[in-house]
Structure formats: structure tokens, C-alpha cells
Amino acid sequence: MNRLTWSYFAAPQRFYRLAGQAVPWCAAVAIVLTLYGLFIGLGVAPTDFQQGDSYRIIFIHVPAAWTAMVLYVAMAFWAAVGLIFNARLAAMLAQAIAPTGALMAFLALWTGALWGKPTWGTWWVWDARLTSTLILLFLYIGYMSLRAAIDDERRADRASAVLAIVGVVNVPIIYFSVKWWNTLHQGASVSLTKAPAMAAIMLQGMLIMSLALWAYCFAAVFVRVRLVILERERGAAWTREHLARPQPA
Amino acid sequence: MKLYWASWPDFFAMGGYGLYVWGSFGVAVLVIAAELWSLRQRRKALHSEIEEP
């Protein structure tokens, strides 16, 4: 029975339907939380006594950086599951996570540059936190390029999984870079071991925006994994039947 | 909850950091819009390919 339940949704066809049902909920949560989070972060939260209003970039910068890191771990996890258990759906999930993760890594770097200029006086420094985040973006791009370069999907899964798994070592380096090295980047404002080093309303805005971006990423990944399933299962009878039905524009 | 800003121009100026703040949030919106658009294109391509093999 247990075996049956955990593997039930491992069939791409079943997961296709499950993901389809989850998309509208994730999207609705993302929209509501984004509006609320932006209202708090850009409207209600007071200015920062040191950084002025440039600090408001935190409400997109930190959520993007968090999701970029966590999505990488998720991608590597599913890639590993796909590699070890030879599970098709797990490999498809890893494939579907990569582009969204890359976009989040790009956003973290972009907003970081726009925050660095007014606070540090420079768009970019080769500092441990910034450099390791750039490597994260390159790992995402490398993963996607490697996948795209191999025609046989199953071989592409295996090769890119190895890259994803090796690259996961970079994630703790990003996280601890501000502790291990002297960096220009500030330390963690939020951690599990000590009280947050920011005002309650700012923290609230940041957490709401993080949840909002999470919900968005879930929606985007579910939409993409459905496309990946259709593309890769296009020979299957259920896929052809499904695609033959009229689609909403 | 009380709004921090006294007026709309204040809000858009962001205390002189408007370029940086709006540059961040604006690009975030663009990036997300681009992702959604590309997903839509991918679905269209998939359907047209299946219909006219």
C-alpha cells in the first residue's frame, strides 16, 4: 500500500493532472501575496535610517536569492532521484525547475547590482557572496545547455543530473560566504538561531514577498513540467488524445 | 496600517532612489512576464506541431 501511494503520482500522466490542478491555486496565492507584500514593502514600511529608501530593494532581492538557492537544491534533488531510481518524472521535474531557478538567480544579481550602486558605490565587486551567486547562475545555464546539447532525452537526464549534483556544493558556499570570508555583502538579517536584525514590518514584508515568489515559482514549474511531460511523452496514447482535444487560448 | 508616503510624487521618487528601486521591481516584473510569455509560446508550438506533423 505504501509503495503504491508514493509511486502513484510518479506516473507522468497522473502527475500531469495533479500539477494542472495545483497551478490556479499557486497562481492565486502568488497574486494575492504579491499585492499584499508590495503594499507593505513599498507603501507601509518606513524608510531605513541608514540606507534611505534604497533598502526597499530587499523586498525583491532576498526572496529572489532565497528561491534561486532553494530551487537549485530542489533541481539537484530531483535530478539525483531520477539518476538513482531511473525515474522519468523526477528527471522531468529537474528539467522544469532549471529555467525558473536561472531567472531567480539573475534577478538576485540584477537587484543586488542596483542595491550595491547606491549603498557601496559600485554595481559589482568580486566578493565571495556575489561571485558564488554568479556561479549559481552559470550552473543553471550550464545545466540547461548540457541538457539541450544531448539529443537522447534519457542520456541528457543522466549527464545533466551529474552536473546538477556536483554543483549543489555551491549552495552552502553562497549561504555561508558572508561568514567564512570578509565580504562587502552584509550578513544574514534573518536566521533560525537569533532574533531578526530588522524591524517587524520590514521582516513581515520580506517574508510575504518570499512566500509570494515561492507560490509563483511553484506555478511556473508546474506549468513547465506539464509541457515537458507532453513533449517527452508525445508518443504515448494518452498524450495524443489529450492534445487532440480543443485547447483554451 | 498607515501609508508611509505623503504623496504620489514622493512614492515615485523613493527618497531619491527611484531609479534603483523601480529598476529592481520593474525588471522583476519584466522577467516574470517574459517567462510566462515563453511558456505560452512553448505550449502553442507544441499544439501546432501535434496538429500538423
- Cα Rg for chain B, rounded, in angstroms? 20
pLDDT in tens, A94-116: 999 999 999 999 999 999 999 99
Q: Would you state the pLDDT for residue A74? A: 97
Facing residue for B14 by CB, picked from A46, A53, A223:
A53
- Prediction pTM value: 0.92
pLDDT in tens, B7-40: 999 999 999 999 999 999 999 999 999 999 999 9
Q: Would you state the pLDDT for residue B52? A: 59
Partners of B10 on chain A (C-beta within 8 Å) are: none
Identify the residue with better confidence: A139 or A235: A139
Residue B49 has pLDDT above 80, yes or no: no
| Average pLDDT value for chain A | 90
CATH architecture label of A23-185+201-230: Up-down Bundle (1.20)
Average pLDDT for A128-146: 96
Identify the residue with better confidence: A87 or B50: A87
Partners of B46 on chain A (C-beta within 8 Å) are: 227, 230-231, 243
- Cα A96 from Cα B35, distance rounded (Å): 12
Q: Are residues A42 and B25, on separate chains, in Cβ contact within 8 Å?
A: yes
Q: Would you state the pLDDT for residue A248? A: 58
Q: Are residues B14 and A40, on separate chains, in Cβ contact within 8 Å?
A: no
- Cα B16 from Cα B12, distance rounded (Å): 9
Facing residue for A52 by CB, picked from B1, B15, B39:
B15
What ipTM was assigned to the predicted interfaces of this complex? 0.92
pLDDT bracket for residue A1 (50, 70, 90): very low
pLDDT in tens, A176-212: 888 888 778 887 777 766 767 778 889 999 999 999 9
Q: Would you state the pLDDT for residue A36? A: 97
Partners of B1 on chain A (C-beta within 8 Å) are: 40, 44
Q: Would you state the pLDDT for residue B48? A: 82
Q: Does the CA dihedral A45-A49-A52-A55 come out positive or negative?
A: negative
- Cα A92 from Cα A121, distance rounded (Å): 42
Q: Would you state the pLDDT for residue A206? A: 94
